[in-house]
Chains A and B, each alone.
Chain A
Amino acid sequence: MKIRLNIGAISEPLQSEQFKTGDWGTEWSFVDREKCTACRVCEQFCPDGCIEVKEIEGKEVAVVDHNYCKGCGVCASVCRYGAIKMELKELFKVDVC
């Protein structure tokens, strides 16, 4: 079956949701819910817009969508409460000789 090709790579809104970029990086970010104050700085700075402040178990915290997190580390570096850290993905935890 022939695919449909939008000439000029013209794309309609929200098409990028189909591109799951979560497997790109070697690391991704994790939020420490105890330390997180829901200040929303990481939400503003995330270049992929994949951090959202949500209410979880009665507390507002930043949540990273690992379907899209590319592991750039911007969130971890802007967090004023040391609540975000970058962790190496299991896949990359290998011994290199």
Chain B
Amino acid sequence: MRKVVRGFYSVAYAVKLCKPNIICAYPITPQTEIVENLALMYANGELENCKYITAESEFAAASILVGASAAGARTFTATCSQGLILMSEVLFNAAGMRLPIVIVNTNRALSAPLSIWNDLQDSMALRDAGIIQVYVENNQEAHDMVPQAYKIAEDKRVRLPFMICMDGYKLTHAYEPVDLLDQNVVDSFLPPYSPEVYLTTKKPVAFGCYAPPHIYMEFRVAMQRAMERAKEIMEKVFADWAEVSGRNWGGHLEVVYPDSKNFVIAMGSIVGLLRKVVEELRNEGISVGLVKLRTFRPFPVQELRKSLENAEKIIVIDRSVSFGYEGNLSIELKSALYGMSPEVISFILGLGGRDVPKDFLKELVKNAILGKEKSGFKGFKEFEEVIP
């Protein structure tokens, strides 16, 4: 059913089709309309075997979902920015307890200064939580990722929380044509969640128990192995999805013009703009390709090394920064390509919703390829620091 909908509706509708048992959230811009739509569906009786719980904070929302997930419920929440980092204490626990909670993070800048606008700083802060992170380019991909997220997260060999990262406003509030899935398609793809062990009075257990030094490390090794297995399982699920839905989003990466000498790599909605930039530059006779990184955790090291083995120059588009070092994706990419010798130029731009016009981006990429542009922050006004 092809409709013109906004990003948050495409997510809410997909969540409904996945038949969650517990939805729990706290409102935060630009995520709110996702759970508002779900609350409306719940109030209208469209969600069977489901309870919608309003929490008093994101910390509470995540905590309620940990309990619900441990009790065997399929769970959903959406958040971003301050909400996500308020959840973080709980989410690290959820990962350690191996609970397959699905979170949609509508990427938004972190305070201070207060900003409700888009960049990727929030989800980057949770890089090491043990949560699978996938970044989507458009609202159809966000819609399609929801059933895939449940299937991957709930796989017995994985059992980790799954975070779908979609750009706040740029996707959430954008109207796009989205082919809304049929219930039958989702039902045939996603079996009901039925964990072997869950909280029940019939067979009492406790989750995430105390582990002294003689046993703690083994649990962390197990999480790393689960992430490594997830990498393979995700490829399989992505391929199955292409068959079931007829839409192939690629694997952990999508590589456009793989035989190019130069590459641009980015995550999220800015990839859409880069497609156009790459087309225009190629029309000018510049050999440039595009790598869309979909999966950020687990990080697809081998896939990146293979796709970029003949690259002479790689331009990384970062929309977040590790203060005191550089753009987060740039750090990860350089580490993944260790031992290879392409030139890597990293641009940090678009922070806190700063507009990134196509021609600006095109000039940056072009000049980088021509050796006329250095790494660093781009698209900001020079300033003098003053204490008022």
- The reply on A97 being an interface residue by CB < 8 A is no
Q: Are A9 and B204 in contact (CB under 8 A)?
A: no
A11 to B211, CA, bound (A): 11
Docked complex: A1-19 residues within 8 A CB-CB of B: 3, 5, 7-13, 15-16, 19
Q: Mark B94-108, 1 if CB is under 8 A from A, else 0.
A: 001111000000000
Closest chain B residue, CB of each to CB of A7: B98
Given contacts A5-B219, A9-B97, A10-B197, contact A19 B212 (CB under 8 A): yes
A5 to B219, CA, bound (A): 8
Inter-chain contacts of B96 with A (CB < 8 A): 8-9
A23 to B253, CA, bound (A): 53
Inter-chain contacts of B218 with A (CB < 8 A): 3, 5
Q: B181 to chain A: closest CB distance in Å?
A: 31
Docked complex: B175-215 residues within 8 A CB-CB of A: 197, 204-212, 215
A10, A15, A19 interface centre (most CB from chain B within 10 Å) = A10
A79 to B208, CA, bound (A): 34
Closest chain A residue, CB of each to CB of B99: A8
Q: Are A9 and B205 in contact (CB under 8 A)?
A: no
Q: B65 to chain A: closest CB distance in Å?
A: 15
A13 to B97, CA, bound (A): 17
Q: Are A19 and B159 in contact (CB under 8 A)?
A: no
Closest chain A residue, CB of each to CB of B204: A13
A10 to B99, CA, bound (A): 11
Inter-chain contacts of A3 with B (CB < 8 A): 218
Q: Are A9 and B99 in contact (CB under 8 A)?
A: no
A: interface residue count bin: 10 to 19
Inter-chain contacts of B209 with A (CB < 8 A): 9-11, 15-16
A15 to B205, CA, bound (A): 10
Given contacts A5-B219, A7-B222, contact A12 B205 (CB under 8 A): yes
Q: Are A9 and B208 in contact (CB under 8 A)?
A: yes
Q: Are A9 and B219 in contact (CB under 8 A)?
A: yes
A13 to B99, CA, bound (A): 20
Given contacts A10-B197, A19-B212, contact A5 B205 (CB under 8 A): no
A11 to B215, CA, bound (A): 13
Q: A20 to chain B: closest CB distance in Å?
A: 11
Q: Are A11 and B205 in contact (CB under 8 A)?
A: yes
Q: B101 to chain A: closest CB distance in Å?
A: 12
Q: Are B159 and A9 in contact (CB under 8 A)?
A: no
Closest chain A residue, CB of each to CB of B219: A9
Q: Are B207 and A10 in contact (CB under 8 A)?
A: yes
A8 to B210, CA, bound (A): 11
Q: A49 to chain B: closest CB distance in Å?
A: 15
Closest chain A residue, CB of each to CB of B226: A7
Inter-chain contacts of A10 with B (CB < 8 A): 97, 197, 205-209
Inter-chain contacts of A19 with B (CB < 8 A): 210, 212
Q: Mark A68-82, 1 if CB is under 8 A from B, else 0.
A: 000000000000000
Q: A72 to chain B: closest CB distance in Å?
A: 16
Q: Which of B97, B204, B215 contacts A8 (CB 8 A)?
A: B97
Q: Are A8 and B206 in contact (CB under 8 A)?
A: no
A6 to B239, CA, bound (A): 31
Inter-chain contacts of B99 with A (CB < 8 A): 8
Inter-chain contacts of A16 with B (CB < 8 A): 209-210
Inter-chain contacts of B208 with A (CB < 8 A): 8-10
Q: Which residues of B are in contact with A by a Cβ distance under 8 Å?
A: 96-99, 159, 197, 204-212, 215, 218-219, 222
Q: Could you jot down 15 A-B contacts, CB within 8 Å?
A: A5-B215, A5-B218, A5-B219, A5-B222, A7-B98, A8-B96, A8-B97, A8-B98, A9-B209, A9-B211, A10-B205, A10-B209, A11-B206, A11-B209, A19-B210
Q: Which residues of A are in contact with B by a Cβ distance under 8 Å?
A: 3, 5, 7-13, 15-16, 19
**For the complex of A and B, 8 pairs with smallest distance between CB atoms:** A8-B98, A11-B209, A8-B97, A9-B209, A11-B206, A9-B208, A13-B204, A10-B205
**Known A7-B98, A9-B209, A11-B206; further 6 A-B contacts with Cβ < 8 A:** A8-B96, A8-B97, A9-B96, A10-B207, A12-B205, A15-B209
